[in-house]
Amino acid sequence: MINVQHVTKRYGNATALDDISFSINKGEIVAFLGPNGAGKTTTMRILTGFMPPTLGTVRIAGFDCLESPWEVKKHIGYLPETPPLYLELTVSEYLTFVGRIKRLPDDQLTERMDTIITQTGLADVRGRVIGHLSRGYRQRVGLAQALLHDPPVLILDEPTTGLDPNQIIEIRELIKSLAGSHTIILSTHLLAEATAICQRVIIIHRGRIVAVDTPEQLGAKLRESETLSLTVKQSDPDLLEALHHIPGVIRVSQGATAHTYFLDTQMGRDIREELTQFIVSRKVGLLELKTQPLTLEDAFKVLTQTNTPSAPNISTPGGPH
């Protein structure tokens, strides 16, 4: 459904996207994950035909973005980072305007508007001026705008930013309910979101694709080490150094308090038993010892920090990794 081949985007001398290629099948939900400035928004703007790529080709539903932008635009619903709202219009005036510029025939417009307004939960505010609505409602109006002409491809740039937890769940449910019939790309820097909604994750960093995989496999692939968290009762200034000499420990860091430590251990080597005996023998009072599951967050950090110099073996304070 979406096919991106060797796309490069330069702004003057700065390279925003560097030779990006990926393709997305019909009905898939895919997340773009990356830190701010990684090139997520640029990629989305190129996909929507808002800006042309410097090099490379983009095809959506079989149409080339540069050769037939008209067809591409008809096939896409786009929610930019900032919802594109005319604050002085009411919700229904705004949606009527959007329907018309999306060239929805007038006889379908009313019906589609009713469907979308119900679907996005805007029924209570349809007569109200957008400028008077809360952030959550505005985001929904933005989403309604993208869905209005029932496009097969949806491009959502950070659809849940600025929403409260309940609203986030509602929007996620809405996006999930569109899966199958729609091909959806969304960008996010919330990792839980990618795991919760998406079938595939594309990680972008500094204009390059660092990884493309399912959220679960991505985590597994990057599991080069396991992390243990350890809490003791008494503080011991020498403990940090001592822990580092236990065989199998790669790196030790101190947690938020002087009583908590994080130990990175070699893969496949369970040192919990030795560790327990060691702590007990030092008589500092073992309170807790548990393994930290490697999340997508860790994977993300590992993948996107490859260019930064490696951290010193002993660091204080710091979390896992």
Partner 1 sequence: MTPVHTIVAKELRSAFVSPVVYVIAAIFLAIVGLLAYSAAANASNQAIRLMQIQNTYAQLNLNDMLFRPLFRSINLILMIILPLLTMRLFAEERKLRTFELLLTSPIGVNEIVSGKFMSVIIVYSGLLSLTSLIPITLSAYATFDWRPIYLGYVALFLQGALLISIGLFASALTENQIIAAFLSFGCILGLWMLGALGGIVGDTTIGHILSYLSFSEHYERLIRGLFNLKDILYYVSGIAFMWFAAHQAVDAYRWK
Residues of this chain that interact with partner 1 (CB under 8 A) are 11, 45, 48-52, 70, 73-74, 76, 78, 80-89, 93, 97-98, 100-103, 106, 145
* Terminal CA-CA length for the chain: 38
Return all residues near 102 (Cβ < 8 A) that are at least 6 apart.
Answer: 74, 148, 149
Nearest CB to partner 1, comparing residues 80 and 207: 80
Can you tell me the distance from the alpha carbon of 100 to that of 302, in angstroms, rounded to the nearest whole number? 46
Nearest CB to partner 1, comparing residues 58 and 230: 58
Nearest CB to partner 1, comparing residues 91 and 98: 98
**DSSP-assigned states of every residue in 86-99:** -TTSBHHHHHHHHH
Please, what is the minimum distance in Å from the beta carbon of residue 71 to partner 1? 8
Please, what is the minimum distance in Å from the beta carbon of residue 48 to partner 1? 5
Please, what is the minimum distance in Å from the beta carbon of residue 207 to partner 1? 17
Report CA torsion sign: 110, 115, 117, 118: positive
Please, what is the minimum distance in Å from the beta carbon of residue 178 to partner 1? 19
Q: Pull the structure tokens for residue 182.
A: 């729609």
Nearest CB to partner 1, comparing residues 44 and 232: 44
Can you tell me the distance from the alpha carbon of 312 to that of 298, in angstroms, rounded to the nearest whole number? 18
Please name the helix (run of DSSP H) or strand (run of DSSP E) that holds residue 213, with its range, or none.
strand 208-213
Please, what is the minimum distance in Å from the beta carbon of residue 217 to partner 1? 33
- Give the strand order in the sheet containing 225-232: 286-292, 225-232, 260-266, 249-254, 314-315
Nearest CB to partner 1, comparing residues 73 and 205: 73
Nearest CB to partner 1, comparing residues 83 and 159: 83
Please, what is the minimum distance in Å from the beta carbon of residue 176 to partner 1? 24
Can you tell me the distance from the alpha carbon of 162 to that of 140, in angstroms, rounded to the nearest whole number? 11
Can you tell me the distance from the alpha carbon of 63 to that of 69, in angstroms, rounded to the nearest whole number? 8
